[in-house]
Amino acid sequence: MDFSSLAAKYGTPLYVYDFDHFKSRYEELKEAFSGRKSLICYAVKANSNLSVIKLFANLGAGADCVSIGEVRRALMAGVPKYKIIFSGVGKRDDEIEEALKEDILFLNLESEAEMLRVEEIARKMDKKARISVRVNPDIDPRTHPYISTGLTENKFGVDIEIAKKMYAYAGKSTHLEPVGIHFHIGSQLTELEPIYEAAQKVSELLKALLALKIDIKFFDVGGGLGVIYDNEETIVPYDYAQAILSTLSGTDVTIVCEPGRFMTANGGYFLTKVLYEKTSKTKRFVIVDGAMNDLIRPTLYEAFHGVEVVGKESVKSKADIVGPICESGDFFAKDEELAETAHGDLVVIKSAGSYGFSMSSNYNTRPRAAEVAVEGGEDRMIRQRESFENLIALEKDFLK
C-alpha cells in the first residue's frame, strides 16, 4: 500500500482500510463454518463506518449492534433486517421500541428486568419480540481484564440458572419468542480452550431447552477472535469453528458469530506525520500530529501497535511516539526501536482498523481524522475529515 501518496492526497492524521483484506477475513471465517447453517454478524462497534458495514453486507454478513444508532447504521448500509441483532446491557425503552418496529432478527437480553421491559413494550405494540438470552458461562477468557466479559464479576449476561428461568418464562409469554441463545466471553481471545468450554456449557443449556420444546434456532457464540498485534499466537478460524461445532452434535441450530476485531483490525492503518523530535535526559520523543483522541487503545488497554517510519531504514534507537494532547497517557508506542525522523516524515501505526476510529473523540477540540478505503488498487474517501465548524455546530447558536 502506498502510504505516502495516500497521506499526500488526503492529509494526516488519516485512517486507511484495506477492503480486500476485510473481505478475505469475512470469507475465511464463513468458509470455516461451511457445511453448517451459519450467519456472521459483523460487530459494528469495531469499525462503524457505513462503507465498511456495506462491504460486509454485500458479502452476506449480518450486523451485531449495541445501540439503536448502530442498528440504524446497519439498515442504512443495506444489512437486511432479518440479519440484525441488538445486544447490550442497557437498552433504553425507545431503543427497544424501535428495534421491535424494525422487526430485526432478535434482541439479546442481559437481565430479567430487561426481559420484562421488552415484554411490556412488545405488549403495548401488540407484537411478539424475538429474543435470545446472553448467558454468562463464568469462564476466564485469559485476555486483558478490561475486555473480559464472561466471568460472574463482569456486568454482562446472566448466570445459567437465571437464564433457565428466563427461557421458561419467555416460552410461555404471548409477547416473547425465545429464538436464540448467546454468550460472548471477551475480546482479543487467543486461546481456544475457554471458547470451547463456554460453548460446551451453553450447548448443554441449549439441549435442555430443546428438550422442553423451547424452539431455539440460533446458537450465538459472540465475537472475540483475537488478531496479531505483536507476535501473539492466534486461533485458526477452522479450529474455532470445529470446537464450536463439536458441542452441537444432534442439533440443527444456525450458528451465529459476531466478530469485530477479527474482521477489521489487521486491515486498518493509522497514518500520522512527525512534527518534532526531542530528547530529555532519559528519553527520546517523536511528536506526531495524531493523538489519543484518534486512537485510544494504547492508553486504554496498554495495547501494543506495530509502528514504522515510512521509507526510513537508518540506524534505529528507542523512542516514545506521542501526540499533542495534554495528557501523559497520550502515546502510541513506548520504547520502540525507531529510525531517526525529520519534520514531515510519515509514521504508520498498524492493526488500527478496529476500535480505532470508532473510539475516537474530539478531546482538545481536535477534529476527527478522515477515513479512506483502498479496494482493488483504487482509493476513495469514506468519511470526510471533520472541520472546526462541525465541532462547534451544536454550541454556537447558544453564545450569548
Return the active site residues: 326
Phi/psi class of residue 302: alpha, beta or left (left: φ > 0; alpha: ψ in -120 to 50)? left
Q: Cell triple for residue 59?
A: 458479502
Closer to ligand PLP by CB, 25 or 273: give it. 25
Q: Whole-number minimum distance, CB 143 to ligand PLP, in Å?
A: 9
Distance CA 141, CA 123 (A): 38
CA 371 to chain centre: 17
At a CB cut-off of 8 Å and minimum separation 6, what does 205 contact? 135, 160, 163, 164, 181
Q: Whole-number minimum distance, CB 128 to ligand PLP, in Å?
A: 23
Return the closest-CA partner of residue 196 out of 239, 259, 154, 145.
239
CB atoms closer than 10 angstroms to residue 90: 11
Omega of the bond leading into 141 within 30 degrees of 0 (cis): no
Q: Whole-number minimum distance, CB 262 to ligand PLP, in Å?
A: 6
Return the closest-CA partner of residue 51 out of 72, 77, 13, 12.
77
Closer to ligand PLP by CB, 301 or 363: give it. 301
Return the closest-CA partner of residue 297 out of 258, 317, 268, 318.
268
Contact 364, 325 (CB under 8 A): yes
Distances in Å between the alpha carbon of 245 and those of 17, 238, 262, 376? 32, 10, 19, 34
Q: Whole-number minimum distance, CB 222 to ligand PLP, in Å?
A: 5
CA 321 to chain centre: 25
Closer to ligand PLP by CB, 157 or 323: give it. 157
Q: Whole-number minimum distance, CB 87 to ligand PLP, in Å?
A: 4
Closer to ligand PLP by CB, 43 or 347: give it. 43
Residues near ligand PLP, by CB under 6 A: 43, 45-46, 64, 66, 87, 184, 187, 222-225, 258-262, 354
Q: Whole-number minimum distance, CB 184 to ligand PLP, in Å?
A: 4
CA R_g for the chain: 23
Closer to ligand PLP by CB, 137 or 259: give it. 259
Closer to ligand PLP by CB, 160 or 256: give it. 256
